[in-house]
């Protein structure tokens, strides 16, 4: 079979230069006075980087100093093929107008296109194409701007062979590094250079510390034959000499291989995809119980035994796990890491160690001349490589984030470390927003049901501006009730596949930090056009039921609509209206109807076995000027919280059923797997310690036994038990119906579920809206929506973003809690023991919703006599035995000894154990209290 490829060449591809009179271009990108102060190029010049320069030195190219750059199509295509993240960063720079980056389509230009010659590799052909394009530009600019000071085109490469050939062709060419070092006005750019393989040799010793990594071909052959296993490397947070490799097996099966010791870890970094070889069984070991941080001065470049002797070996046969060693790296998953510099003790040294904030990442050696300025700052560093003769990976400085401990800096670190996309929306994304002033046209009305006459209102937390949902309830002529859930019609404004849609799909969710929100969609939509604010007309997607007074659904319909909300209430305001017997207006009647039905719906749900679990959520009261937390308390939930929740659940279940009936292969649903029975061990033991039995055969059995679990004189017992039960649960996940058979939602005891009610803040809901719109004939479909493999890949991203946003929110609460305790000094509070460990108890402070650890073995004093019994579990400290749920008193304070990892410290005050407990702090001075109570 003969394959014919047509490749069109054109004469109308312009050069993009301001100085050019030949090209018939409407607008230009490259400036006439393209001047960067360089000791190598004293003339105005344009830069042409080759592919490897873009791939490895993107950190430098992102700096605003670098302007007037020609990106050849050859380079752009190769970058796109080899690294999606770098390609995205490059596209972002090209879109930035002030940077003057111009894309030149050399592969379709009649004078710059070249054919691959017989025997020429694709790589060599592309290098030649780059040289041909540079030569064309040089000649083209000569004709348009003559004179000795005319513009020149400079090729930047790191490839010695390419440089040599370019010089033979008479081109101006420099190694990227020598060019960056020549930028007299910007010496700080040198720190951002990624090390090329030539530089890596002179940093390290000649002594080989690690085994060679096998080449990919051998690794693949080994995996195929079964002598190696492929998996994801997960470094231990508590012990830098230990990791596990997670090997995904067939179906649900997966195994973990333990790796111990530097040589066996063999330069793998957290989240890398690696190949491991199992060690002989007699060399298998048990996970170490020791906490080891790689701290202090840099270890020499040798791996000697003394470091590894600290790993305590458990010799019991049962505790041993499959143990292996890393033999090759299949895929590196390096990202830029946040952290701090450990400035070298050697005077004048430019080599320093960087300690990442994430304890799973090894320390990184970097070269910088600005160490004194960077000390005490949070910085970002990227890894360039990890040679086999270096104790640490080598990397380069990317940028500074600001002073450690400052609120803005720490917030930035938190977002970067949890991979939360938080940069401002790009022009490309904003260009798809509707033009203001936005109005509803007669054409819009023709395609929607007019529900503006209904008494619709929204109920949300105080200060909420992204209002996703509104409700109404009215009595019909036949005596039944009509209930409507109206959801913001976000999918009307976000069309599939455009830049706005792609950005929202990538972000996946809005992230709520303390006092800050990182939107999934631009503010014009989230707080204005999509937000169902009161007394304005808004587009909605409505789910309307006809119900009888027993809350039984008689009819369900879905429609695109226009509504006009009559009130935006907080939960407390709605509750006051319901409770105030003097109020009898339409809004209040509607709320009372909804509340009455919600109570019936909730009762039915609980009868079916839905779980009511508990987790303490905290609220910070912020100082209006400094935005620092001045008070911290746990959130109170009202009846109206539950009222809104019931109707959201009902809408989600109704929509899930509809889209699944319509599209059994590609419905986007949400499931909550039942936990394996072993997850409940701790809950059962904890309850048993108070003579309470917990049944776990089904969600209903668990729910029922939690309902009757009570202990006289200990009213907080039930809440503690529910908090523990929450810890036993699995994570709920999005999935595509055509790729899975188990749809059940364990926590809600529902056979099917999805997310429909929050499209402003969750991308999953936008997809569900699109599916529902197609199902009711309100919109047309598009290929990706019906492709179960694409839908499944999207679900993976949404699950990842959702998980990371939860972690980021927790980290934000932890940071604000630290700020709060920093201002309060040492407090003495009541708490309960949640867990018992070998050398510590974990204590919950209900007043603050705060959890902390009381350690009984500290470095600076003799350890008390500890006896741990895992049957209980109990921990005997000297003469006192601790059980789960024991009431204790602890002091709470902030330990700032490690600026990068500040911790809340707890110490025992009651029960009094001589030599272990501490004395309670003095009461706070009254004056300080006053300010906090305002």
- Residues with Cβ within 8 Å of 807's Cβ and at least 6 positions away in sequence, in order, are 418
Residue 249 reports pLDDT greater than 80:
no
For 728, the token pair is 């036993």
Higher pLDDT, 166 or 142: 166
| pLDDT greater than 80 at residue 309 | no
Q: Would you say residue 628 has pLDDT above 70? A: no
Instruction: Give me the mean pLDDT over the 86-106 stretch.
Output: 90
Q: How many CA atoms lie within 13 A of 184 on its CB side?
A: 8
Burial of 139 (0-12, 13-18, 19+ CB in 10 A): exposed
Mean pLDDT, residues 905-931 taken together: 65
Say if CB 797 and CB 508 are below 8 A apart.
Answer: yes
Please report which helix (H) or strand (E) contains residue 218, including its range: helix 216-225
Chain center to CA of 568: 31
Mean predicted confidence (pLDDT) in 503-523: 92
Mean pLDDT of 607-615: 75
Closest to 909 measured CA to CA, from 920, 894, 900, 898 = 920
CA dihedral sign, ordered 275, 279, 284, 288: negative
pLDDT for 342 equals 79
Read off the pLDDT band of 420 (50, 70, 90): very high
Compare 558 and 263 and report the one with higher pLDDT. Answer: 558
Mean pLDDT over 381-399 rounds to 89
- Average pLDDT over all residues of the chain: 84
- Best mean pLDDT range from 319-328, 423-432, 711-720: 423-432
d(CA 77, CA 108): 13
Which bin fits 779, alpha (ψ -120 to 50), beta or left (φ > 0)?
A: beta
What confidence tens digit (pLDDT) does each residue in 778-803 have?
Answer: 888 888 888 989 999 999 999 999 99
Q: pLDDT class for 126, splitting at 50, 70, 90?
A: very high
Q: Which residues have C-beta within 8 Å of that of residue 743, sequence separation ≥ 6? A: 660, 669, 671, 737, 751, 752, 753
What percent of the chain shows pLDDT beyond 90?
35
The whole-number average pLDDT for the span 811-833 is: 83
Given a cut of 70, is residue 631 above it in pLDDT? no
- Residue 4: partners with Cβ closer than 8 Å, 6 or more residues away: none
Q: Flag the least confident range among 25-29, 197-201, 237-241.
A: 197-201
What are the helix (H) ranges across 672-787?
A: 681-688, 699-708, 717-728, 763-775
Place of tokens 């006092």: 515
**pLDDT tens, 169-184?**
889 999 998 899 888 8
pLDDT for 433 equals 93
- 98 pLDDT above the threshold of 70: yes
Could you tell me how many residues make up the chain?
934
137-150: average pLDDT: 68
Segment among 49-63, 820-834, 855-869 with least mean pLDDT = 855-869
Q: How confident is the model at residue 296 (pLDDT cuts 50, 70, 90)?
A: low
Asked if 911 contacts 888 with a C-beta cutoff of 8 angstroms, the reply is yes
Count of beta carbons in the 10 Å neighbourhood of residue 326: 27
> Higher-confidence residue: 343 or 103?
103
| The pLDDT value given to residue 187 | 79
pTM: 0.77
The pLDDT of residue 913 is above 60:
yes
* DSSP calls for 808-856: HHHHHHHHHHHHHHHHH--EEEEEEEEEE-SSEEEEEETTTTEEEEEES
* Residue-level pLDDT at 649: 93
**What DSSP letter does each residue of 587-616 carry, written as one string?**
HHHHHHHHHHHHHHHHHHHHHTT-------
The per-residue pLDDT for 436 is 87
Closest by alpha carbon to 46, among 62, 68, 20? Answer: 68
pLDDT at residue 870 in the model: 73
pLDDT band at 47 (very low <50, low <70, confident <90, very high): very high
| The pLDDT of residue 359 | 84
Residue 371: predicted pLDDT: 80
State the Cα–Cα distance between residues 847 and 634, nearest whole angstrom. 7
Q: What percent of the chain has pLDDT over 70?
A: 89
Angle value at C-alpha 674, between 670 and 679, nearest 5 degrees: 130
Q: Residue 464: which pLDDT band, with cuts at 50, 70 and 90? A: confident
Split at pLDDT 50, 70, 90, the class of 403 is confident
Question: Band of the pLDDT at 19, cuts 50, 70, 90?
Answer: confident
Q: Which of 366, 425, 427 is nearest to 400 (CA)?
A: 366
In the prediction, which pLDDT does 34 show? 82
pLDDT at position 927: 37
pLDDT over threshold 90, residue 239: no
Q: Is the pLDDT of residue 36 over 60?
A: yes
Taking alpha carbons only, the member of 821, 908, 900 closest to residue 858 is: 908
pLDDT of residue 925: 46
Per-residue pLDDT tens over the stretch 712-768: 777 777 788 888 888 788 889 999 998 888 898 988 889 999 999 999 999 999 999
Give the C-alpha separation, 435 to 432, whole Å.
9
- The architecture CATH gives domain 825-933: Beta Barrel (2.40)
User: Tens digit of pLDDT for each residue in 372-387?
Assistant: 888 888 999 999 889 8
Q: Is the peptide bond before 540 cis (omega within 30 degrees of 0)?
A: no
As a whole number of angstroms, the distance between CA 523 and CA 848 comes to: 32
pLDDT at 808 > cutoff 80: yes
User: What is the mean predicted confidence (pLDDT) over 55-77?
Assistant: 91
Does position 483 have pLDDT exceeding 60, yes or no? yes
Q: Where are the domains of the chain?
A: 45-187, 441-657, 825-933
CATH architecture of 45-187: 3-Layer(aba) Sandwich (3.40)
Higher-scoring residue by pLDDT: 725, 660: 660
């Amino acid at each position: 079979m003969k394959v014919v490829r047509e490749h069109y060449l054109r004469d109308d591809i312009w050069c993009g230069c301001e100085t050019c009179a030949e090209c018939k271009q409407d607008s230009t990108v490259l400036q006439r006075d393209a001047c960067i102060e360089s000791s190598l190029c004293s003339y105005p010049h344009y830069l042409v980087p080759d592919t490897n320069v873009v791939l490895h030195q993107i950190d430098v190219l992102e700096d605003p100093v670098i302007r007037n750059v020609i990106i050849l199509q050859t380079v752009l295509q190769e970058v796109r093929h080899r690294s999606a993240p770098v390609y995205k960063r490059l596209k972002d720079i090209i879109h930035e107008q002030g940077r003057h980056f111009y894309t030149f389509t050399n592969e379709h230009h009649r004078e710059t296109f070249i054919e691959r010659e017989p025997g020429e590799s694709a790589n060599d052909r592309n290098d030649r194409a780059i040289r041909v394009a540079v030569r064309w530009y040089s000649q083209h600019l000569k004709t348009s701007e003559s004179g000795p000071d005319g513009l020149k085109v400079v090729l930047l490469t790191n490839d010695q062979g390419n440089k040599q050939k370019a010089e033979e062709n008479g081109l101006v060419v420099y190694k990227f590094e020598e060019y960056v070092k020549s930028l007299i006005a910007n010496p700080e750019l040198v720190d951002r250079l990624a090390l090329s393989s030539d530089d890596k040799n002179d940093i390290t010793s000649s002594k080989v510390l690690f085994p060679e990594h096998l080449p990919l071909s051998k690794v693949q052959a080994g995996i195929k034959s079964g002598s190696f296993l492929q998996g994801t490397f997960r470094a231990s947070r508590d012990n830098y000499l230990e990791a596990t490799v997670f090997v995904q097996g067939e179906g649900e099966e997966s195994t973990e291989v333990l790796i111990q010791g530097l040589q066996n870890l063999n330069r793998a970094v957290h989240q890398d995809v690696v190949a491991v070889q199992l060690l002989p069984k007699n060399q298998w070991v048990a996970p170490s119980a020791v906490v080891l941080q790689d701290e202090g001065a840099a270890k020499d470049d040798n791996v000697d035994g003394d470091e590894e002797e600290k790993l305590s070996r458990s010799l019991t046969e049962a505790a041993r796990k499959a143990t292996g060693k890393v033999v090759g790296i299949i895929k590196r998953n390096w990202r830029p890491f946040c952290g701090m510099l450990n400035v070298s003790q050697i005077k004048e040294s430019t080599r320093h160690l960087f300690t990442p904030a994430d304890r799973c990442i090894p320390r990184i050696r970097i070269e910088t001349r600005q160490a004194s300025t960077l000390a005490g700052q949070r910085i970002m560093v990227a890894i360039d490589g990890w040679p086999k003769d270096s104790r640490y990976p080598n990397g380069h400085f990317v940028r500074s984030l600001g002073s450690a401990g400052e609120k803005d800096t720490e917030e930035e670190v938190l977002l970067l470390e949890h991979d939360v996309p938080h940069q401002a929306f790009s022009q490309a994304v904003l260009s798809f927003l509707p033009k203001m002033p936005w109005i509803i046209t007669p054409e819009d009305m023709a395609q929607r049901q007019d529900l503006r006459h209904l008494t619709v209102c929204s109920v949300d937390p105080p200060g909420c501006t992204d209002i996703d949902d509104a409700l109404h309830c009215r009595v019909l002529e036949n005596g039944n009730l009509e209930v409507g859930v109206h959801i913001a019609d976000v999918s009307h404004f976000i069309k599939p596949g455009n830049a706005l849609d792609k950005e929202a799909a990538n972000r996946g969710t809005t992230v709520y930090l303390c006092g800050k929100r990182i939107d999934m969609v631009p503010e014009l939509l989230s707080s204005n056009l999509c937000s169902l604010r009161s007394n304005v007309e808004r587009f909605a997607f409505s789910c309307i039921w006809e119900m009888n007074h027993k809350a039984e659904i008689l009819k369900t319909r879905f429609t695109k609509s226009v509504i006009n909300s009559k009130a935006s209430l907080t939960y407390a305001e709605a509750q006051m209206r319901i409770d105030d017997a003097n109020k009898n207006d339409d809004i209040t009647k509607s709320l009372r109807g909804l509340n009455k039905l919600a109570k019936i719906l909730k009762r039915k749900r609980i009868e079916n076995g839905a779980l009511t679990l508990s987790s303490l959520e905290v609220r910070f009261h912020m100082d209006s000027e400094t935005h620092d937390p001045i008070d911290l308390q746990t959130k109170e939930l009202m009846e109206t919280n539950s009222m809104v929740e019931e109707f959201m659940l009902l809408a989600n279940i109704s929509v899930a059923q509809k889209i699944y009936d319509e599209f059994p292969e590609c419905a986007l649903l949400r499931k909550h797997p039942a936990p394996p029975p072993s997850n409940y061990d701790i809950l059962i033991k904890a309850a048993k310690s108070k003579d309470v039995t917990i049944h776990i055969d089904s969600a209903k059995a668990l729910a029922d036994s939690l309902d009757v679990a009570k202990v006289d004189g200990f009213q907080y017992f039930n809440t503690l038990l529910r908090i523990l039960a929450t810890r036993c649960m699995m994570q709920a996940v999005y999935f595509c119906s055509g790729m899975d058979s188990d749809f059940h939602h364990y926590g809600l005891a529902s056979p099917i579920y999805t997310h429909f009610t929050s499209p402003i803040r969750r991308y999953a809901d936008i997809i569900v809206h699109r599916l529902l719109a197609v199902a009711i004939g309100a919109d047309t479909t598009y290929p990706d929506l019906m492709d179960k493999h694409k839908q499944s890949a999207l679900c993976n991203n949404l699950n990842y973003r959702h998980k990371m946003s939860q972690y980021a929110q927790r980290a934000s609460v932890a940071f604000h809690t630290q700020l709060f305790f920093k201002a309060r000094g040492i407090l003495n509070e009541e708490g309960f023991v949640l867990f018992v460990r070998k050398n510590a108890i974990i204590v919950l402070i209900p007043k603050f919703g705060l959890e902390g650890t009381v350690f009984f073995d500290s470095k600076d004093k003799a350890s008390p006599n500890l006896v741990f019994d895992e049957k209980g579990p109990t921990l005997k400290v000297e003469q006192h035995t601790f059980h789960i749920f024991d009431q204790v008193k602890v002091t709470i304070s902030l330990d700032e000894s490690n600026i990068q990892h500040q911790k809340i410290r707890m110490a025992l005050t009651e029960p009094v154990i001589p030599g272990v407990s501490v004395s309670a702090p003095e009461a706070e001075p009254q004056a300080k209290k006053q300010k906090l109570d305002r």
